[in-house]
A and B are shown apart, each in its own frame.
Chain A
Amino acid sequence: MSEVPWSLHLLSEVLAAFSVDDPHALRNVINRVAEAVDAEVVAILREGKISHCIGLSATEQPLLIAHALDHPASLRLRSGLLYTYWAPMGEGALLVVGRLREPFNLEERSLLRAMGRSIQLSAQVLQALTAEREAKDAALLQATHDAMTGLPSRSLVLDRLEAILSRSNPGDRVATVLFVDIDRFKQINDVHGHASGDQFLIAVANVLRRVVRSGDLVGRLSGDEFVVITSTAMHQDAEALAARIIEQVSRPLLLAGKLVSHSPSIGIAFALAGDTAETVIENADMAMYRAKDRGRGCYACYDPMMRLDAQHRAAIEADLRRGVRQGEIRPYLQPIVTLPDRRLIGFEALARWQHPLRGLLAPSEFIGVAEDTGLIIEIDTLILKDACAIIGGWRLHHPEQHLQLSVNVSGRTFADPSLPDHVARALQSSGMEADSLYIEITETMLVEDIEATIQVVERLKQLGVRLAIDDFGTGYSSLLYLKRFPVGILKIDRSFIDGLGVDREDEVIVKAVIGVARALDIELVAEGVETERQLEMLVELGCDCVQGYLFGRPCDAEAAEALLNRQATLAKAG
């Protein structure tokens, strides 16, 4: 074989081991160096340390370091005399190659010298290529994945879903999207801070990863909106997965030292032939809203009617935004009178939409959309400001009247930390006394979201504003919060009033509530009084105040002032 030149192809073999796909490229390179020249020992020395070594145990390797400067031609090992060659690699690094029994000849030394420098250069090229690839991978990851949860972001979710849809064959399992939205997520951020909110989202992402099958895709579309892409043979499979997600995500989490429990609402959509990725996700999104309508922690499957509903809701939303901007949302006032003298002592302000085409609209026509879109906060603060301005304005003409005002606010508004600021501004600009204003909420809002609202309640208390508890008796009915919070009015729910004279149990309940209010020195208002019989019974039971159609429907400011004027006239006449 002496006629065959061997050294150059060995160098080529060694350098061929460099690969950006191999994380152990340099380790394989020194193996090939050893195999090329039948060496037992190969090591790379850098800055007085061994970066790679084969053939020597950890206890023998210091021998090479000890001779890194004098480069002896041989070293004595237990196995015998090791002939060495110390090939400079550049930048102070050395390729040390050792062979037992036989020194390296001139051709081998020449080859090893070429290998040393070539390995260094190749390693640098590899390092640069690897860094470039990693940078590209990182950029791609950043572009396609959500940095906080590590989940694929919207663009990648759409790409993957599109690919799945293009591969689907009739009769195969159906591509299925579960749109997961966390109920009342904003409250976590508001109450516990954004850091806790982020922790919560990371925890939800981890739960979703854990719950789905290995081939499923979990992505984060935005905020608290997640998506699961799976394939199902039957609708029940998707529903079972949704139920599993709801059960797992609803488990309490420890955030900032507090147990937090929030449920998800899930919309499910099944891909149909010709659907695009965007369409399927939109469908799942619509189904999610239907799930929310059913209550928290529910799921719903998409059906085509939802798209019509959604289009209808979208139209209402746009119209409502316009209406809010143009001042079409106005306070209507319903009188509250004392018993037994039937004297007007104040009003409850209720929102009405004076639509330019559809006329006057009741809250049931637009409050749902307002709550879904967040417009409700704007509407509530608008009603608060305008109603206070009306009542404050009447003080000039009726200084003898000390009118009280109840203003309904939604749960979202009540949890909004800026509500006390709005209240303070409304009082200041209207000149109303703080003790005349009641912020009317449901007992459910107060008790269920206690962490979210405690600061709001404290600041309202500092302002001197009190709470009116609406629909009292239908919710948690905890007496503890009646003492703890500045509750000035209890409003007994109309369903109990309806039963007066009809249902003995309702009578008992009303009597009990009146007893509670008296004991705690809280004013009691009976809502929904429509008949003289109901009124008589409430008088008998000792109720303080009433409101209802018997004394007047909600009316605009002009009509309400007319009532006030009439009472003033009667008072003067009396």
Chain B
Amino acid sequence: MPADPLIAPLAPATTGTLAHQSVDPVAGVTATPELDSLEESDSERWIQVGGSILLDSEQAVGEALAPILASGQPKLVLLFCSPSHDLSLAAALVADQIGAAGLIGCSTAGELAPDRSIGGGIAIWALGGAGFSVSTGLGQGSASGLRQAASDAAHCLDGLQRRAHTVLVLLADGLCGDQMEVVRGAYDVAGVDVPLVGGCAGDDMAMQATQQIFGRRVHTNAVVAAAISSDAPLGIGVSHCWEPLGEPMLVTSSDGTSVSTLEDRPALDVYLDAFDAPDEVRSDPELFASWATTRPLGIRRRDRIEIRYVSGADFQSRKLLTIAEVPQGGLAFLMQGDEHSVLEATHMACQMACEGLQGAPLKGMLLFDCVARRSVLRDERISEEIKRINAVRGDLPVGGFYTYGEIARTKGAGGFHNQTLVALALA
């Protein structure tokens, strides 16, 4: 499934808001003397990624941060950290070493570090150089939703020194409310001019609670954001390569992320029967959740199908539970995929992102890869995904994490995805 890359020239926004950091040595808005002393030309930009699977948090942060610090003083650091680590400690360790750089991050369901896909580790993605401007934001939500939190976080755009190309990176609590609301809330502020990318924090598939990092602080039920503005083009690629299993069905009853009936039949029964679910899956919630990982729903859109991850089921009321809205009245597909389609989507998303650079040389990529895609590949073939990524990026730095949902708004006003790979390429 293709998605349009979007390169958006921007003008400065005007409104102000809460909890934001801005780092720009050229504008000198909140720049530190250390940053001011860097002698960088306007065209200089760099991206660096580090990773570690060391169990000790201090050692892991040290190992993952080493290649970044070797590249210079970063302006933005994204910390993707397995919940097996103490995120507060990891954030503090990173913050201690990156000076005035903006720091956001989240807990994960696996990490993408250079040349490898890891679990239980730490991946750190960073950019620097005079050709980037950065600001970061935080929005604290509640159990009832994240729309306002996403708007609050997106207001970091207000303090950003705008260059030719801007993107807003969002990291949200993937277990809080309807994730469509994150895109809608951020879009309320970013508007048509600024594309959105990002992912929902994970918790190593425990599906209990995720965490978001803003500076040294760790939050839950929150959205953190980083606005990146660059002199050079940015490209976004989105692809999932899932295929419909049969004809679409009318969503005859749903309420947000709870799907009651499909074609006026209990949604859970329709789903189990269509996929010919084994007996043990039909009564055990944990087995069901694991089994459903590779059997998403698809929502019919104008020229594509958007994927909705089935996160669980209510066996009493026979409802399917998703982590993003399945609108009543819409058309839903049962979707299927295999290792080949997952790998194909990887290649396609990375390729699309790089094409969005309009010929400018790629400096690095940031990936938001659904954890369900990893489940399809399983450990023995996960390395093939890395090979596909490497085929596009060459030996340039790439990093990211395995998510509970992906964000990519490149056209229209929507842009929440599941079981999809979202790639942000930076020149």
Contacts and interface: CB of A to CB of B under 8 A. Distances in A.
Interface of A: 1, 4, 6, 9-17, 28, 31-32, 34-42, 54-60, 77-79, 82, 99-101
A11 B328 CA distance: 11
Given A9-B300, A77-B192, A34 B412 contact: yes
A553 B185 CA distance: 90
Contacts of B187: 54-55
8 contacts: A6-B302, A6-B331, A9-B250, A13-B330, A28-B184, A40-B192, A56-B192, A59-B14
Contacts of A38: 301-303, 411-412, 414
Given A16-B328, A34-B412, A38-B411, A78 B301 contact: no
Given A35-B412, A56-B191, A100-B192, A13 B327 contact: yes
Contacts of A60: 191
A17 B327 contact: yes
Contacts of A55: 187, 191-192, 413
A77 B13 CA distance: 15
Nearest to B189: A57
A15 B193 CA distance: 28
Interface stretch (B3-11, B128-136, B206-214): B3-11
A485 B220 CA distance: 71
Contacts of B248: 4
Nearest to B8: A79
Interface in B10-67: 10-11, 13-15
B285 interface: no
B188 A40 contact: no
A54 B188 CA distance: 6
Contacts of A17: 327
Interface in B293-314: 300-303, 305
B361 interface: no
A85 to B, nearest CB: 14
B302 A37 contact: yes
A367 B150 CA distance: 71
A37 B328 CA distance: 17
B413 A54 contact: yes
Contacts of B331: 4, 6, 9
Contacts of B193: 57, 78-79
B62 to A, nearest CB: 43
Interface string B231-252: 0000000000000000010100
A82 B411 CA distance: 12
B2 interface: no
Interface of B: 8-11, 13-15, 184, 187-188, 191-193, 248, 250, 254, 300-303, 305, 327-331, 411-414
B333 to A, nearest CB: 9
Given A10-B330, A13-B327, 6 more contacts: A9-B330, A16-B327, A31-B414, A39-B413, A57-B193, A101-B411
A496 B17 CA distance: 78
A496 B188 CA distance: 85
A57 B188 CA distance: 9
Contacts of B10: 78
Nearest to A57: B191
Contacts of B11: 78
Closest 5 CB pairs of A and B: A12-B329, A34-B413, A38-B412, A35-B414, A16-B328
Contact of A15 (B192, B329, B411): B329
Contacts of B188: 54
Contact of B411 (A10, A36, A56, A100): A100
A99 B303 CA distance: 14
B329 A16 contact: yes
B300 A6 contact: yes
A327 B11 CA distance: 94
Contact of A42 (B300, B329, B413): B413
Contacts of A1: 300, 303, 305
Contacts of A28: 184
A100 B4 CA distance: 12
Nearest to B327: A13
A499 B200 CA distance: 90
B106 to A, nearest CB: 25
B308 to A, nearest CB: 13
A37 B302 CA distance: 6
Contacts of A77: 192
Contacts of B328: 12-13, 16
B188 to A, nearest CB: 6
Given A54-B188, A79-B8, A4 B327 contact: no
A32 B181 CA distance: 11
Contacts of A13: 327-330
Contacts of B327: 13, 16-17, 32
A461 B81 CA distance: 88
Contacts of B184: 28, 31, 54
Nearest to A19: B255
Contacts of B411: 38, 40, 100-101
B412 A78 contact: no
Given A15-B329, A57-B14, A4 B412 contact: no
A378 B297 CA distance: 82
Contacts of A57: 13-14, 191, 193
Given A56-B192, A57-B191, A59-B14, A35 B329 contact: no
A62 to B, nearest CB: 14
A30 B13 CA distance: 23
A347 to B, nearest CB: 77
Contacts of A54: 184, 187-188, 191, 413
A201 B166 CA distance: 59
Nearest to A21: B255
Nearest to B300: A6
Contact of B412 (A9, A40, A58, A59): A40
B192 A35 contact: no
B202 to A, nearest CB: 25
A58 to B, nearest CB: 7
Contacts of B414: 31, 34-35, 38
B54 to A, nearest CB: 43
Contacts of A14: 329
Nearest to A31: B184
Nearest to A15: B329
A199 to B, nearest CB: 36
Contacts of A42: 413
A14 B330 CA distance: 9
B192 A41 contact: yes
Nearest to A8: B329
B26 to A, nearest CB: 22
B9 A31 contact: no
Nearest to A33: B413
Contacts of A4: 248, 300, 331
Contacts of A56: 191-192
A13 B254 CA distance: 10
A334 B322 CA distance: 91
A535 B80 CA distance: 102
A55 B9 CA distance: 15
A11 B331 CA distance: 11
Nearest to B326: A13
A41 B191 CA distance: 8
Nearest to B332: A9
A226 B414 CA distance: 54
A16 B331 CA distance: 13
A16 B327 CA distance: 7
Given A13-B327, A57-B14, A31 B302 contact: no
A360 to B, nearest CB: 74
A478 to B, nearest CB: 60
B356 to A, nearest CB: 14
Nearest to A40: B192
A32 B306 CA distance: 14
B148 to A, nearest CB: 10
A546 B24 CA distance: 99
Nearest to A98: B192
A370 B300 CA distance: 81
